[in-house]
Chains A and B, each alone.
Chain A
Amino acid sequence: MSPAPAPAPAAAPLGPPLQTLAGWGRVGRPGRERLSEDLAAIAPRAALSRGLGRSYGDSSLPASTADLALNTVLADRLLAFDETSGKVRAEAGFTMRELYRVFLPRGWFAPVTPGTSFVTLGGMVASDVHGKNHHSDGTFGRHVTGLRLMVPDGRVIDCSPQTEPELFWATIGGMGLTGHILEVEFTLKRVPSPWIYQYSERVPDIDTFMRRLEEVGHDWPMSMGWIDCISRGASMGRGHLMAGRWAAPSEAPARFPRQLPRLRLPFELPDLALSPLSVRLFNFAYYWKHLRRQAQGIVHPEVFFYPLDAILDWNKGYGKRGFTQYQVVLPKADAARSAKAFLELLTREGGASFLCVIKDCADEGQGLLSFPLPGISVALDIKITDQTQRLVDRLNQFVISAGGRIYLTKDLFTRPEDYRAMDPRVDHFLAVRRKWDPDLRLRSAQSVRLFGDPPPAA
C-alpha cells in the first residue's frame, strides 16, 4: 500500500496555490481559486466568482495568475422558504442538484433548469439560463425576485426589479462582471407529481422540425429536439422532438423516482473515440433508436431534464485538447430559412458533432446580456482541433448576417469584433458595469478576450 499522504505542503503566502482551472470544455489555464463558506470574507480580494465550472469556455476563469477566483460551492445554505408562495432564498453556491433533492419530493421544482443539475444558483443567474420551458416560462432571471451582491467597491447591495433595477438586470446574464452574487431569491414552481409525461416523435428533416417545434409548443410547456447534424440533402436536420409536462398524480407512479445510478469516465478517451466515423455511426444509430414514429408515456425526471448527468465527467470523452460548445439563437422572422442555411454551412464545414440540440425560444429576457431572443437556438459540441477557430469564425459570420447571437457561457473562440457585431447591447451593459466598477476590478478571461478589458500585466 502506498504510504499515507498527509496534509500537503503550505499554500503560497500569496494565497491558494497555482493550479489548472478549466471550464466544462476542459481547456485549462493556470489560476488561483479559493473555496470558502464565507463569500463576503473572500469576495473583496477576488476578481471573479465561479460555481461548478459548467460553463464551457473561459467565462468562469481568472484573466491572470494574479487574479483570485472565489469558488462558491461551499456557500450552499438555504436561508428561507415560504411554503405558500414558493419563494426561496439561498446562498449562491446552492446547486440545482440539491434543489431537486430537497424540493421535488415536497412538490416544488425550479421555475427553470438548464440541462445539467450540476450548476449553482450564482451560475444560473450570471448566465441567465434557459431550459426546455423557455417558450412558456422564459429564462431563470424572470423568476428571480432579489439578489444580494457584493459590488466591486466592497459594498453589499440588495437589488431586485424594484430596487437598483439597472444593476439587477445587468447582473442577470452579466457573466459575474457586475459583482459577486452572495444570495439569490427566486420563486419555485408547484408541480403535481415528481414525474414527467413525455411525448416524442421522429422528425424527417429540418423544415418539419421547425414546424413541429412551433406546433408542439402550443400544447406542451416543455420541448426541445436532438438533431443529427451529419446527414445532408433531404434528410438534413432529421432527429427527435421531445416534449413534456409534469405528470398528473393519477397517471404517475405513487413513489418518488429512485436516484439513478451514476457512472464515471475514469480516464480521457483516446482521440480516436470521437473520430468523424464514430460520430456518424452514433448519429445514425441514435436516429433509428426511435423506431416508432411517435411515443409517449411517463419518464423519470432526471432522464428528462438531465440525461447527460448519468455519466459524471463525460467531458473527458473529448480527449486531451478538450471541446467547445457553439450555441446560437437565430431570429424568428427568418428562422426556418436561416436554421437550414446554418446546418448547410455546418455540414459543409465539417462541424461533425455528437450532440446537436435545437430549441425554440420565446421572449428576450430583461437581462442586459441575456442570451435567448424569439427564434430558434441550436447548440452543438465541437471537439477542438486546429480547424476550430476557423469553423467558429465562419459560423459567426453567418450568425451576424442572420441577426442572431451566440451564448457567452458556452463561448471560447468568438472574436471581440464579431461579438460586438452580433450583440450591440454590449455597450449599454459595459456602461452600467463601468458605473459600478470604474477600475474594472472584476474581470474574467472571457471579459478580457471579448469585452476589451485591458489585458493583465504579464
Chain B
Amino acid sequence: MIIAILGATRGMGRALARAAAARGDQLILLGRELDELQRSAADLTVRAAGAPAVASISCDLATPAGFGPALDAAWAVHGRVDAVVVTAGLFGTQDALEADLELAARLLTINLTHTVIFCEEARRRLIAQGGGRLCVFSSVAGDRGRKPVGIYGASKAGLSHYLESLDHKYRADGLITLTVKPGFVKTGMTAGLKPPPFAGEPDGVARDVLRALDAGRPVLYTPAMWGLVMAVIRRLPRFIMRRVGF
C-alpha cells in the first residue's frame, strides 16, 4: 500500500509509519519541518532493510494554502496514493485553553477547520483516482462533552462528525473513511499527564489501526477497552456527568 501520512514525526504517527514500513508499505511523509521529516524517513529506511526510499514533503496544518500542492507532490511520487493518514493534531489541557483564548482558537482551527480542509483536498484526489482510504485521528474526547476536555473535545467532536458524514456520503464512490478514536495513549502529547487505567502504547495503536485500515472499518477505538468505556460514558445521564470529574 502507498500511504501518505501527515504527523509521522512523533507519537502514534511515528509508530504507525514504522509498523507500515515493516510490513512493506511505501510511505510518503508530510509535516511542517523538512529536516524532521528527513530524519524520520531515514529511521524508516534503516529499520526496514532494503525498503524503498521514503519521500518527505512540507505541509503545515496551519497553512491551508499549502495542502493542495503538498498532496499533488505526494501523488507525484508514485503516481497514486492508496491511503492518506492524518495523525497531526494539537492538545491543550482545559485549564491552559481557558486561560489562553488565542491558544484555544489556534487549537480549534488546526484540529477542526484546517483538518477538515485537508481532508477535503485528500478526498477529491482519492475519489478522482478511483478510490482509496482516508484515516484520520480524532479522539474519545469528542464522544461526549466532559469537564476536563471541553475545548479540545469540541474540536474532535466536530472532526468525528465530519468524518462520519464522509463515510456515509462517499463509501459508494470508493472512499473508505476510518475515524480513529484513541483513548489515553502514552506519547509526548500526554507526557505531563498521569496515565489512567487502560492507557495505551503507540505500538499497540499502530497495530490496531493497520488492521482496521485493511478491513475497511469506519470507526476504531484503541486500545479496544476504550470502546467499552465510551459506550458507558455516552449513556451516563447528564446529572451524573455534571457531578463527576471526568
Give the contacting residue for B93; candidates A10, A34, A37; CB below 8 A: A10
B101 at the interface (CB under 8 A from A): no
A248 at the interface (CB under 8 A from B): no
User: Which of B106-114, B160-168, B210-218, B225-233 binds A?
Assistant: B225-233
Cβ contact within 8 Å between B95 and A8: no
Complex Cα distance, B148 from A37, in Å, reads 25
B105 at the interface (CB under 8 A from A): no
* CB within 8 Å: A-B pair count: 93
Complex Cα distance, B230 from A17, in Å, reads 27
Residues of B within 8 A of A35 (CB): 188, 191
Cβ contact within 8 Å between A1 and B228: yes
Complex Cα distance, B193 from A248, in Å, reads 49
Q: Which of B46, B147, B152, B192 has the most CB of A within 10 A?
A: B192
Cβ contact within 8 Å between A36 and B14: no
Cβ contact within 8 Å between A11 and B192: yes
Shortest distance in angstroms between A70's beta carbon and chain B's nearest beta carbon? 11
B239 at the interface (CB under 8 A from A): no
Cβ contact within 8 Å between A10 and B46: no
B192 and chain A: residue at smallest CB distance:
A11
B153 and chain A: residue at smallest CB distance:
A6
Give the contacting residue for B42; candidates A7, A17, A80; CB below 8 A: A80
Residues of A within 8 A of B197 (CB): 2, 5
Q: Number of B interface residues at 8 Å Cβ cutoff, please give it.
A: 43
Complex Cα distance, B140 from A457, in Å, reads 43
A71 and chain B: residue at smallest CB distance:
B191
Complex Cα distance, B197 from A4, in Å, reads 8
Knowing A2-B197, A37-B10, A79-B43 touch, does A10 contact B94 (C-beta < 8 A)?
yes
Q: Which of B11, B43, B226, B233 has the most CB of A within 10 A?
A: B43
Complex Cα distance, B192 from A34, in Å, reads 7
A216 at the interface (CB under 8 A from B): no
Residues of B within 8 A of A266 (CB): none
A83 and chain B: residue at smallest CB distance:
B49
B96 at the interface (CB under 8 A from A): yes
Shortest distance in angstroms between B187's beta carbon and chain A's nearest beta carbon? 8
B124 at the interface (CB under 8 A from A): no
Encode B3-46 as 1/0 by CB contact (under 8 A) with A.
Answer: 00000011100100000000000000000000000011011001
Shortest distance in angstroms between A10's beta carbon and chain B's nearest beta carbon? 4
Cβ contact within 8 Å between B193 and A7: yes
Cβ contact within 8 Å between B246 and A4: yes
B63 at the interface (CB under 8 A from A): no
Q: Which of A2, A8, A102 has the most CB of B within 10 A?
A: A8
Complex Cα distance, B130 from A424, in Å, reads 73
A9 at the interface (CB under 8 A from B): yes
Instruction: State which residues 76-96 of B face A: CB under 8 Å.
Output: 91, 93-96
Knowing A16-B191, A106-B49 touch, does A6 contact B196 (C-beta < 8 A)?
yes
B48 and chain A: residue at smallest CB distance:
A102
Cβ contact within 8 Å between A5 and B184: yes
Shortest distance in angstroms between A27's beta carbon and chain B's nearest beta carbon? 22
Shortest distance in angstroms between A341's beta carbon and chain B's nearest beta carbon? 49
A81 at the interface (CB under 8 A from B): yes
B129 at the interface (CB under 8 A from A): no
Cβ contact within 8 Å between A102 and B94: no
Encode A17-39 as 1/0 by CB contact (under 8 A) with B.
Answer: 10000000000000000111100
Cβ contact within 8 Å between B229 and A79: no
Cβ contact within 8 Å between B141 and A8: no
Give the contacting residue for B244; candidates A3, A15, A80; CB below 8 A: A3
A400 at the interface (CB under 8 A from B): no
Residues of A within 8 A of B47 (CB): 78, 102
Complex Cα distance, B148 from A10, in Å, reads 9
Complex Cα distance, B204 from A177, in Å, reads 35
Encode B147-181 as 1/0 by CB contact (under 8 A) with A.
Answer: 11100100000000000000000000000000000
Shortest distance in angstroms between B232's beta carbon and chain A's nearest beta carbon? 6
Residues of A within 8 A of B190 (CB): 7
Complex Cα distance, B91 from A34, in Å, reads 16
B242 at the interface (CB under 8 A from A): no
Cβ contact within 8 Å between B14 and A37: yes
Cβ contact within 8 Å between B46 and A79: yes
Give the contacting residue for B149; candidates A7, A37, A77, A102; CB below 8 A: A7
Cβ contact within 8 Å between A37 and B188: yes
Residues of A within 8 A of B238 (CB): none
Complex Cα distance, B93 from A17, in Å, reads 13
B146 at the interface (CB under 8 A from A): yes
Q: Which of A36, A77, A80 has the most CB of B within 10 A?
A: A77
A252 at the interface (CB under 8 A from B): no
Shortest distance in angstroms between A220's beta carbon and chain B's nearest beta carbon? 30
Residues of A within 8 A of B192 (CB): 11, 15-17, 34
Shortest distance in angstroms between B130's beta carbon and chain A's nearest beta carbon? 35
Q: Which of A2, A5, A37 has the most CB of B within 10 A?
A: A5
Complex Cα distance, B196 from A79, in Å, reads 33
A79 and chain B: residue at smallest CB distance:
B42
Cβ contact within 8 Å between B226 and A34: no
A157 at the interface (CB under 8 A from B): no
Complex Cα distance, B95 from A17, in Å, reads 15
Complex Cα distance, B9 from A36, in Å, reads 12
A384 at the interface (CB under 8 A from B): no
Shortest distance in angstroms between B104's beta carbon and chain A's nearest beta carbon? 14
Residues of A within 8 A of B49 (CB): 106
Residues of B within 8 A of A16 (CB): 191-192
Complex Cα distance, B192 from A35, in Å, reads 8
Give me 23 A-to-B residue pairs in the complex whose CB atoms sit less than 8 angstroms apart, sorted by A's number: A1-B228, A1-B232, A4-B183, A4-B230, A4-B233, A5-B196, A6-B184, A7-B93, A7-B148, A7-B152, A7-B190, A8-B194, A9-B95, A16-B191, A34-B191, A35-B191, A36-B191, A37-B14, A77-B42, A77-B43, A78-B42, A79-B46, A80-B46
Q: A16-B192, A77-B39 are in contact. List 4 more A-B contacts (CB 8 A).
A: A1-B232, A7-B190, A11-B93, A79-B42
The 8 A-B residue pairs whose C-beta atoms are closest, nearest first, are: A5-B196, A11-B192, A10-B95, A10-B93, A77-B43, A4-B229, A35-B191, A78-B46
